[in-house]
Amino acid sequence: MSKETLISYLNKQLHSEYQAMHTYMYHAATLQNEELAAALREFCREEQNHAIMLMDLIEHMGGVPEASCEVNVDQEDDILSSLVMSIAEEDSAVQMYTMIRDLMETPAQRTIIESTIAEEKRHHAVLQDLLAKAKKQMF
């Protein structure tokens, strides 16, 4: 695979991190559930760190991080729908990062991506727990 193709994958994932940051930030500010809002604020900070890591990798590989992208935040008031959507997005991030990891050239780069995969998997698990709690409270 060419370096340019890998950089395009990294930029695609960078866009996903921008999306996740904005989504988590919006829901953290608008939800009444403080436990969920606190988790989403933490996730927002972690997604920002992922974006910075991706920008560093892109620049290190001789590419240019794409700083502008269209971000669409689902302003869904239904907490269950928001959690289900976030879980699906975390699954997608794990899949994309796994593919990227397998394409990275150096062990150091793969290690960086591995730590990001672990964080995305933790987000998924926490969101699953919060979804289960939200369902119990609603029913």
Instruction: Write down the mean pLDDT value for the chain.
Output: 90
The whole-angstrom separation of Cα 15 and Cα 2 is 20
pLDDT in tens, 111-121: 999 999 999 99
What CATH number is given to the structural domain containing 90?
Answer: 1.20.1260.10
**C-beta separation of 52 from 82 below 8 A:** no
Quote the number of domains for the chain.
1
| Residues of the domain holding 67 | 3-138
| pLDDT reported for residue 18 | 93
Mean pLDDT across 49-68: 94
Under the banding of pLDDT at 50, 70 and 90, the label for residue 55 is very high
| pLDDT reported for residue 82 | 83
**What are phi and psi for residue 131, nearest 5 degrees?**
-65, -45
| pLDDT reported for residue 68 | 74
